[in-house]
Amino acid sequence: MTKLSLRHYWHPLATSNEVSEAPARFFMLGEQLVAYRWGDEVRIFKDLCIHRGAAFTAGGTVRDGNIVCPYHGWAYDGSGACVHIPSLQPGQPIPEKARATAYQAREAYGLVWVCLAAPAMPFPVWPDDAWNRDDYRVVFVKAYDWKASAGRVVENAMDMSHFNFVHTGYTELADGPVIKPYEVTRTERGLNYAYDDGHLLRDYVVEFPFLVHDRKSVVNAAGGKTWSDGDNAKSGDVTLLSFLAAPIDEVRTRIYVFVGRNHSLDREDSAFTAGFDIVMEQDQRIVETQRPEQIPTAISEELHLRFPDAGAVQYRRMLRDLDKAEAFVP
């Protein structure tokens, strides 16, 4: 039995095209990793050879799918077992301890994902099954690198009460800054809450710990307009903003941003992706200043207002519970 931790969740490691046949270095939760493709598989290991601690990415190669350490040529198969030590005399066995740490890898949504321990939750899904539907289109916007913790990034993506201050003229709440009561539900995968500003219904789908989807549907086309609406917004149009935060380490986060829509499919995608650089920069400027860098999970710390911060309070409780939870790990 071991402590459940962020290592037990799927996190996006890279975009699919950043991972090639050549081993390359990546970081997740403060750990240095090596990843490469072998046929249809992506193989991911801790970037460390048990022999003398060299990094595979210091010039390591791939032979028959095995990662070969650049220092003394030890080769490890997909399971992490060492299968060749060039310096051994014929007949000498490979020590059982000679293993690389292999991690679970998946490829989905144009990203390569990693889980550093037994997964505590099923693989992430998209609201509305948007990737698989003909009436929907999802496009990758960009990956943004922020000097902030993933928790702070997620809370920012969950928070609608900063819109009328940070994003003036972009994504303001149509009925102003006062936040009306709304209900937060804990789901199997995280949290869910919706907020109606008279123009848009923003449905927040949080997949614990670090994935946030902001599903905006037009409830009243005459009620206003935000930067990511089409020109002729009509009731029922859904625009889905997705923020997938990858915890590189405690104070660095990479945010993979996607935008999906079930409308204006004949229009250029750039009409819907163009505004993100500005809006993300508006957020980044603030979030990178937040201290402490890690969000405090004790609810007594910082000052929560009942309504704007109801989602964040639940989110902090989930993070706090993670600290206490235990999981069986093979």
Smaller CB distance to Fe ion: residue 27 or 182?
182
Angle between helix 150-158 and helix 276-287 axes, rounded to 10 deg: 120
Residue 180 to residues 20, 172, 294, 308, Cα–Cα distance (Å): 49, 15, 28, 8
Residue from 27, 71, 140, 182 in contact with ligand FES (CB under 6 A): 71
The correct pick among 26, 36, 74, 126 for binding ligand FES (CB under 6 A) is: 74
For residue 32, the cross-strand partners are 27
Provide the 8-state DSSP code for 221: G
Is 24 buried (19+), middle (13-18) or exposed (0-12) by CB count in 10 A?
middle
283 binds, among Fe ion, ligand FES, none (CB under 5 to 8 A by kind): Fe ion
- Which stretch in 71-79, 103-111, 173-181, 261-269 sits in contact with ligand FES by CB under 6 A? 71-79
Whole-number Cα distances in Å, 131 to 68, 152, 258 = 37, 27, 11
For 95-147, the DSSP string reads PTT-B--EEEEEEETTEEEEESSS-SSPPP--GGGGGG-TT-EEEEEEEEEES
* Shortest CB 92 distance to ligand FES, Å: 15
CB distance 188 to 314 below 8 Å? no
Residue closer to Fe ion (CB basis): 71 or 182: 182
Gap between the Cα atoms of 176 and 160, Å rounded: 11
Count the neighbouring beta carbons within 10 Å of the beta carbon of residue 69. 24
Query: Smallest distance from the beta carbon of 82 to Fe ion, in angstroms?
Result: 48
The DSSP call for residue 225 is -
* Contact range with ligand FES by CB under 6 A, out of 8-16, 44-52, 165-173, 212-220: 44-52
Structure tokens at 203: 């449905």
Cα 171 from Cα 227, distance rounded (Å): 6
- By beta-carbon proximity to Fe ion, the closer residue of 155 and 283 is 283
Closest distance to ligand FES from the beta carbon of 57 (Å): 12
Q: Which stretch binds ligand FES (CB under 6 A): 48-56, 104-112, 135-143, 247-255?
A: 48-56
d(CA 231, CA 216): 15
Residue 54 binds ligand FES (CB under 6 A): yes
Q: How far is the CB of 177 from ligand FES (least distance, A)?
A: 58
Q: Which residue, 49 or 115, has its beta carbon nearer to ligand FES?
A: 49
Nearer to Fe ion, 109 or 144 (CB): 144
Closest to ligand FES by CB, 14 or 55: 55
Is residue 283 within the footprint of Fe ion (CB under 5 A)?
A: yes
Instruction: Please report how close the Cβ of residue 225 comes to Fe ion at its closest, in angstroms.
Output: 17
State which residue has the least CB distance to Fe ion.
Answer: 283
User: Which residue stretch of 24-32, 233-241, 245-253, 281-289 sits at the interface with Fe ion (rule: CB under 5 A)?
Assistant: 281-289
Say whether residue 208 binds ligand FES (CB under 6 A).
Answer: no
Nearer to ligand FES, 69 or 279 (CB): 69
CA 300 to chain centre: 27
Nearer to ligand FES, 47 or 237 (CB): 47
| Residues forming the site for ligand FES (CB under 6 A) | 49, 51-52, 54, 69, 71-72, 74
